[in-house]
Structure 1
Amino acid sequence: MDSFFARAYAAHRDGRLADAERDYRAAIEADPVHTDALHLLGVLRHQQGRHEEAAELVGRAVALRPDDAALQLNLGNALKALGRLDGAIERFRNALSLAPEFPLAHYNLGNAYAQAGRHEDAVDAFDRSLRLQPNDASTYNNLGNALHALGRTEEAIAAFSQALALRPGHAGAHNNLGMALAALGRADEAITHFRAALTAEPRYVAAHFNLGNTLDAVGLHAQAAAAFEAALSLQAAFPPALLGLGNALAALNRHQEAIARYERAVGLDPQLALAWLGLGNAHHALGAHEAALRAFDQALRLRPDLASAQLNRALTLLTLGDFERGLPAYESRLAIAAATNEHAAAEAAALPRWRGEPIPTKTLWIEAEQGFGDTLQFLRFVPLARARAGRVTLTVQRELAPLVAPLTNAWGVTLGIAGESAPQAHLHCPLLSLPLALGTRLETLPCSRRYLEVPPAYRRHWRGSLGGHAKVKIGLAWSGRIQAQENRAMSVATLAPLFELGGIDWLVLQPNLSKDDRRSLDLYARTASLHRLDTRIRDFADTAAIVDKLDAVVSIDTSIAHLAGALGKPLWLMLPFAADWRWFTNTDRSPWYPSARLVRQPAPGQWASVVEEVARAVSSEFPDKDR
């Protein structure tokens, strides 16, 4: 009997598992209550991943020798592998009641607590283990994970750092430290540790994945895509990595490629709501609006509270001109905005929401909520609201106040500055919610050729020449405030076909120019009549006074386009393939601005063809008499 067990133990120790199993069984056949053979055969089964058999064998050994802490520990290990965490925790505790200074039992108990989501208990267990063996890198690593799960990120970083001090090549600690640093916004340090994890363990799928997420979050989308591809090369059926790759490709405007990844992700995991959201966004970017709606609907079936899916579905509906469904859904934008400005949201939420009902004895606060262009565009609804309210206070961005003041005076509306103290009012309505409150439909958009006027003082200030001697003067804007967005910016070089037209003075309307823009403008000014006004523009009233003196404006989708439209100025509006919802689809005219001509990209990213079309239109509208 003992010879069978001795041979089995030696074989087990040497890794000859088949020989060990044979001799353990022989020992058990000779003595069915051979506790050590039952125990170690169970351990062998656990090593082989046959955890049910392991639990049965070690359980028999525990029944024979219940006061053996090692047996209790290994039964706990088998039960934990089976996901039977309550049973595992009980066995680890039994082991510690028998051997209170058993560091491995504290460590395994901590792991079981962590797997059960009991992170406070896990921290206590890991701390006890470290008091007994203070130089164990794995325990520090797992302690860091528990602390991170509790939101105690700085403490987690200290624990991971200690693990790395003890074992510098600990790939898991590098990866986990990277995640903790990323959670604190320390992306550069996080990336360094993810790369260190991959140096130590090149096939570490989680580190590739986490590296991809962090690179994508800081705008390094091409590098992120490569990291996700590396993760997928090691684990092809990995839906979160497919989602990440899709997001990175979409950020690179490679939407068709992104769709393929999103579709594979939802094929593998139909419950992955964020992949359905990404799929909807990619379809929308390619103009496949019905497919986008189907994807957004599926995302919302899975996660009805997913605000970004609610908002993007709303934007798609509005793009299609479906105000009846789109405007109520567009209210979802407010929840997203509230998450980034809790104080302002609290002030607004303190007042009841106005829904369009007559309030002849009450004061309504209308609050500008988005960009300058949004405010200029939606001002048209304020007098309609004023007709239903006893008093109205409108708050707008400080830069717009000088331009808007004459309007509000004419409407009998009090003007305030957004972001300052909330005005005294009975009800509140965000500016872009006025169409919903007023029951607006596409067919009933309030539209006039001109609804904005230049304040007289600004008109007098800009009475002189704007520069140049050509009879035709056209304003120009080619990028919005967020210049990194492909659909809000193009390079000055792309505008070259416009500068080749004779008989035109081009007036730069953008007040903030980059160094590259200035250099490019100076270069083109050698051959074209190109004039910068940026140092003379103080606010939007200045810009309005300039635009009012021009013959036309050529602009990308930015506040200057809305300003030109509101002044009734002829406007060529250069739009990306997936334009903002307010420009709708399949039309070169705007119900918002009758004076505008919409020129759209024929395919994503193709600004050159847009500029060429505008150049032909400008040449036709203003032929050069000297040519």
Structure 2
Amino acid sequence: MVKDPIAVMQLLAQAVAAHAAGDLQEARSGYGRVLEVDPEHLDALRLLAGVQADQGDVDEAIAATQEVLRLHDHAKDHEFMSSLLTAARRRAEALAHIERSIELDAGVASAHCQRGTLLVHAGRLQEAMASFEQALHTEPGHIDSLVGRGLAYERLNRLDEAVASHERAIELDPDGVAPLAGRARLHQLMGEFGQALRLYDQVIERGSGKDRAAARYGKACTLLALGDYAQGWPLYEHRWDTLPRRKLPSARWTGQESLEGRTLLLYADQGLGDTLMNARFAADLAQAGAQVVMEVQPSLVPLLQGQCGIAQVRPLGGQPPPHDFNCPLFSLPAALRLRLDTVPARAGYLRADPARKAQWARRLGPRTQPRVGLAWSGYGGHSQDHRRSIPFAQFASALPAGWDYVSLQAHARPHECQAVESFAPMRRFESELTDFAETAALVSQLDLVVTVDTSVAHLAGALGVPNWILLHHPPDYRWLATGEWCPWYARSKLLRQGPDQSWPPVLQRVRRDLERWVMAGDLVLAT
């Protein structure tokens, strides 16, 4: 088609008018017609990418914006590309584009703010703080930067400064949703659950889209921490409003559909410990007539084979097998209408492989002292790892003589290797813990496990091995807000930080209880 500038202008005007009227599909078609005549029309490409993003077609918007950048290396286009890549969870690429945007034009507060947000997700918190400060220097009172700086302070566990940053944002924008949502989250993180619920409700009332969905998720976690499972688990399903859903050919099982003679695909949708915690439900589903197929993280496959009535365990990902219904593991509590008093199999529901147990019994040798397994840190990339993990030197200070200590860590963090290696009473088997079946066999040979909130806590609980879980304040919602009682594992004892978020009192109690247990002589040794 021969390019006619007037015709192109008319087509573009029609598409823009449709866009302004909210007819996104017609606008998208109109921008396409412009590009048929002039494939390198920058405005049409930019506007098309915007419509595609608004319609949720992020990959198409990325492709259109790539074409824009091929034609014109402009700061705002890199900033937009960064936002698209962030939505697609391609954060490393997003960071490269926002840094190019700043290189081209360093005077845009939103670009520095976006860089700060990406750096928070990357765990580069000091650099993130510098970006937010630069944004606020460029544009004092930039609301998103105040909120972002509050998040960075939160991750640095500088909660008073986080509160101040969010409060300043609320002062400048009292009707804004983002400052309220950030403040609600801080109330939640500080154990101020009533205030958190009040602000989450305000966000739900005022907000829309992802803001409202995130507030519903935050409210759900708060209700679950308070033990309100009746409201909490259904509301928890709103996490899918902000997360990508897995595309499967089958229907989602909601708890209403009969499972008799049907194949139900369950799949891991969160962490390793979450998968272990929710695997228990497979037994009830199999008893209801389902053939249960489960897709889990590869390191869990050997452990879960043949357990809980599961017909088949497969590594997560790849082409799913034929099935009638599907359900993410963490959607089962809502589907099953779970309540605090109906959590099944609290006494333990997994068993270690007998052959592996025998190998570990030989490997450990004759028992001359009670054996206690130790796990002091979780996955370093977890957003709350700075709160839940304990430096090994501090953790080891709680360990009195008289026990045979066994490390259950898959590896020691590089900066802790020296402290770990110098702790003579502890035996280590990192190279031999190749998957969770091996770790389960080792745990089954222990008398007690002392652990922070990580997958080892769930493994010990699922095996029915006595375990003490050291919890930061406030803990993850599944452990409830108060008390030593655990709704998920009958032989777990919860040892909690106080509101000061200090570990020494918790560790002092560990030491005292270990000493009392040995002196009392009432410990039943594992066999």
Provide TM-score, normalisation by structure 2: 0.78
Residue 432 in structure 1 maps to residue 330 in structure 2: yes
Deviations 1:351-391 (A, max 9, x none): 24241555434333333332221222222222222232254
- Paired residues of 2:250 and 2:323 also in contact (CA < 8 A): no
Shift of residue 322, structure 1, vs aligned partner: 0.5
Bigger mean CA offset, 569-578 vs 228-237: 228-237
Residue 502 in structure 1 maps to residue 398 in structure 2: no
Q: Which residue of 2 aligns with 1:570?
A: 466
Distance 1:448 1:147 in 2: 54
Residue 293 in structure 1 maps to residue 191 in structure 2: no
Q: Which residue of 2 aligns with 1:377?
A: 277
Distance 2:158 2:103 in 1: 26
Residue 367 in structure 1 maps to residue 367 in structure 2: no
Q: AA paired with 2:440?
A: A
Shift of residue 532, structure 1, vs aligned partner: 0.8
Distance 2:375 2:451 in 1: 5
Q: RMSD of the alignment, in Å? A: 3.9
Q: Which residue of 2 aligns with 1:397?
A: 297
Residue 446 of structure 1, aligned match among 344, 354, 358: 344
Shift of residue 259, structure 1, vs aligned partner: 2.8
Shift of residue 146, structure 1, vs aligned partner: 6.9
Matches within 5 A, 1:252-267: 252-267=156-171
Distance 2:113 2:270 in 1: 34
Shift of residue 346, structure 1, vs aligned partner: 1.5
Q: Which residue of 2 aligns with 1:515?
A: 414
Evaluate the alpha carbon distance shift between residue 416 and residue 259 of structure 1 in structure 2; reply closer, same or farther with a 3 A threshold. Answer: same
Residue 545 in structure 1 maps to residue 453 in structure 2: no
Q: Which residue of 2 aligns with 1:153?
A: 65
Q: Which residue of 2 aligns with 1:313?
A: 219
Residue 232 of structure 2, aligned match among 326, 331, 336: 326
Shift of residue 305, structure 1, vs aligned partner: 3.5
Distance 2:306 2:178 in 1: 46
Distance 1:491 1:247 in 2: 23
Distance 1:557 1:604 in 2: 18
- Paired residues of 1:373 and 1:559 also in contact (CA < 8 A): yes
Q: Which residue of 2 aligns with 1:248?
A: 152
Deviations 1:22-47 (A, max 9, x none): xxxxxxxxxxxxxxxxxxxxxxxxxx
Distance 2:370 2:319 in 1: 45
Evaluate the alpha carbon distance shift between residue 550 and residue 235 of structure 1 in structure 2; reply closer, same or farther with a 3 A threshold. Answer: same
Distance 1:155 1:193 in 2: 16
Residue 353 in structure 1 maps to residue 265 in structure 2: no
Largest Rg, 1 or 2: 1
Q: AA paired with 1:220?
A: R
Distance 2:123 2:131 in 1: 14
Q: Which residue of 2 aligns with 1:477?
A: 375
- Paired residues of 2:306 and 2:312 also in contact (CA < 8 A): no
Deviations 1:564-616 (A, max 9, x none): 11222221101111211110011122122222111122246533443333222
Distance 1:427 1:544 in 2: 30
Distance 2:432 2:160 in 1: 44
Distance 2:502 2:134 in 1: 31
Distance 1:569 1:507 in 2: 14
- Paired residues of 1:472 and 1:504 also in contact (CA < 8 A): yes
Evaluate the alpha carbon distance shift between residue 247 and residue 464 of structure 1 in structure 2; reply closer, same or farther with a 3 A threshold. Answer: same
Bigger mean CA offset, 530-539 vs 513-522: 513-522
Q: Which residue of 2 aligns with 1:492?
A: 392
- Paired residues of 1:194 and 1:210 also in contact (CA < 8 A): no
Higher normalized contact order (CA 8 Å, seq sep 6+, divided by chain length): 2
Distance 2:260 2:82 in 1: 55
Distance 2:477 2:79 in 1: 39
- Paired residues of 1:175 and 1:194 also in contact (CA < 8 A): no
Distance 2:123 2:225 in 1: 27
Shift of residue 561, structure 1, vs aligned partner: 0.7
Distance 1:469 1:436 in 2: 44
Distance 2:75 2:254 in 1: 53
Q: AA paired with 1:378?
A: N
Evaluate the alpha carbon distance shift between residue 457 and residue 356 of structure 1 in structure 2; reply closer, same or farther with a 3 A threshold. Answer: farther
Deviations 1:53-85 (A, max 9, x none): xxxxxxxxxxxxxxxxxxxxxxxxxxxxxxxxx
Matches within 5 A, 1:99-138: none
Q: Which residue of 1 aligns with 2:54?
A: none
Evaluate the alpha carbon distance shift between residue 381 and residue 178 of structure 1 in structure 2; reply closer, same or farther with a 3 A threshold. Answer: closer
Distance 1:426 1:227 in 2: 49
Q: AA paired with 1:153?
A: T
Evaluate the alpha carbon distance shift between residue 375 and residue 255 of structure 1 in structure 2; reply closer, same or farther with a 3 A threshold. Answer: same
Q: Unaligned regions of 5+ residues in structure 2, if any? A: 7-12, 22-26, 52-60, 86-92, 522-527
Distance 1:146 1:361 in 2: 51
Deviations 1:152-206 (A, max 9, x none): 4334445654xxxxxxxxxxx65765665675525256436526744xx6xx645
Q: State, as a whole percentage, how many aligned pairs show the same letter.
A: 31
Provide TM-score, normalisation by structure 1: 0.67
Q: Unaligned regions of 5+ residues in structure 1, if any? A: 1-95, 98-108, 132-139, 162-172
Distance 2:370 2:381 in 1: 28
Evaluate the alpha carbon distance shift between residue 186 and residue 207 of structure 1 in structure 2; reply closer, same or farther with a 3 A threshold. Answer: closer
- Paired residues of 2:466 and 2:491 also in contact (CA < 8 A): yes
- Paired residues of 1:147 and 1:155 also in contact (CA < 8 A): no
Q: AA paired with 2:494?
A: L
Residue 191 in structure 1 maps to residue 92 in structure 2: no
Shift of residue 334, structure 1, vs aligned partner: 3.6
- Secondary structure of 2:362's counterpart equals coil
Higher helix share: 1
Q: AA paired with 2:179?
A: A
Distance 1:607 1:455 in 2: 35
Evaluate the alpha carbon distance shift between residue 213 and residue 455 of structure 1 in structure 2; reply closer, same or farther with a 3 A threshold. Answer: closer
Residue 415 in structure 1 maps to residue 323 in structure 2: no
Bigger mean CA offset, 320-329 vs 430-439: 430-439
Evaluate the alpha carbon distance shift between residue 483 and residue 509 of structure 1 in structure 2; reply closer, same or farther with a 3 A threshold. Answer: farther
- Paired residues of 1:354 and 1:428 also in contact (CA < 8 A): no
